[in-house]
A = this chain, B = another copy of it.
Amino acid sequence: MKIKKLPPVNGVRMVAEREPQQDAYMIWPERPDNWRDGAKPAQHAFAKLANLIGKFEPITMFVSSKQYLNARHLLNDTVRVLEMSSDDAFIKDTGPIYIDVAGQLRGVAFGFNAWGGLLDGLYFPWDQDQLIASKLAELNYVPYYDERNLNVEGCSIITDGQGTLITTEDVLLSEGRNAGQSKEEIETVLKRYLGVSQIIWLQHGFFLDETNGAIDNMMNFIAPGEVVLTWTDDKQDPMYETVRQAEAILNRSKDARGHQLKVHHLRMPAVQTVTKTETESIDPINGLLPRTAGQRLTTSYVNYVLVNGAVIVPQFDDHNDADAVSQLKALFVDRQVIPFNAREMVLGGGGLHTVVHTRPDATSFGGK
């Protein structure tokens, strides 16, 4: 149910991904103008990921009417399959942002315009994706606030759950999303709806990220006060300067509690590109970004997924894969660290983190 007022001024807290979760949600990939081979390889990869998450917590797969039986067939019995229309599968961007309002779980439905609307968005129309935040909240009887006047995707903001939010100028200040809104104006809305008190702005996200550069390919929180940043020492890589600039910003910032952030580097895989075969089987319609052979893929190990008791880490058949896993094992000592090949998700313009939306367990809020 939509809450037809603003959140309270006090007692609001954006919930962190690492907190206990009630369940998880994904959307079945279907569009043949984004996912190669009629989305079949992606569907198998999504099914594998959902089946894996089902070992750790309840998970629901949303699917169109037409693909219902196929999804039901490919998914384990532990995965619940429900119908929901969508324009694409990036539920972390389109689902509600969860906040803890005095111990109660609430959602926030921001605007969504396919990462840039008619200016530089990735597809048209996006009317179904725009409804996912409210539909998902309504499914679970989670009352939600509605602020459609600001376009904010879930992957464009990360939090420590203690009042700090990190985002990128590339995304939130992009003309396609929030033209005419200043950084200060956007901060006011984020603070009001998400209960954050400290907002750290990186300038850039990942080079060539179709979203303009969402934060979730650049970095994420391990715990309050501690982050991982994607990294490269290759001076030829356009990311060389970007990650250093990001680190400099982080080093001169304080979190909401006034502490400096500890920054761990996660060395990215070697440059990966799309093959000719992979591009040829995509329908070249609808104004999606062209997928051309040789195009660089947005590959980053910080794009992991947290579920109860586990970290699912993207893998790319790269020599850095194992290092990323062992580094994350050292950082998440209480979780299983599970490698998962993310190429199909990345080929579609996303990553593991973009295709999973988790709902916090409100019964855990009391203890904070």
Interface residues of A (CB under 8 A from B): 1-2, 64-65, 68-69, 77-78, 80-85, 128, 131, 135, 138-139, 141
Q: What B residues does A80 contact at CB under 8 A?
A: 138-139, 141
Given contacts A65-B85, A85-B68, contact A77 B1 (CB under 8 A): yes
Give complex CA distance A68, B128 in Å. Answer: 10
Pick from B77, B128, B138: contact of A2, CB below 8 A.
B77
Residue of B whose beta carbon sits closest to that of A131? B68
Question: Judging by beta carbons under 8 Å apart, are B83 and A135 in contact?
Answer: yes
Residues of B within 8 A of A83 (CB): 65, 82-85, 135
Q: Count this chain's copies in the assembly.
A: 2
Chain B residues with CB under 8 Å of A1's CB are 77-78
Q: Is the CB of A139 within 8 A of B82?
A: yes
CA distance A247 to B128 in the complex (A): 54
13 sample A-B contacts, Cβ–Cβ < 8 Å, listed by A number:
A2-B77, A64-B65, A65-B128, A68-B85, A69-B131, A81-B138, A82-B82, A82-B83, A82-B135, A82-B139, A83-B83, A83-B84, A83-B85
Q: How far is the CA of A82 from the CA of B132 in the complex (A)?
A: 11
Question: Once bound together, how far apart are the Cα atoms of A128 and B82, in whole Å?
Answer: 13
Return chain B residues, CB-CB under 8 Å to A64: 65
B residues less than 8 Å from A68 (CB atoms): 85, 131
In this complex, what residue of B is CB-closest to A82?
Answer: B139
Residues of B within 8 A of A128 (CB): 65
Tell me the nearest residue of chain B to A4, going by C-beta. Answer: B77
Bound-complex Cα distance A141 to B81 (A): 11
Q: Which residue of B lies closest to A127 (CB)?
A: B69
Chain B proximity of A25: nearest CB distance (Å): 14
Residue of B nearest to A80 (CB): B138
| Least distance between A231 CB and chain B CB atoms (Å) | 42
Cα distance A83–B68 in the bound complex, in angstroms: 12
Complex Cα gap A65–B86 (Å): 10
Chain B residues positioned under 8 Å from A65 (CB to CB): 64-65, 83, 85, 128
What B residues does A135 contact at CB under 8 A? Answer: 82-83
Contacts of A82 in B (CB 8 A): 82-83, 135, 138-139
With the chains together, A245 CA to B85 CA distance in Å? Answer: 50
Shortest Cβ distance from residue A145 to the other chain B in the assembled complex, whole angstroms: 14
Give chain B nearest CB distance to A139 CB in angstroms: 6
A2 to B81, CA, bound (A): 13
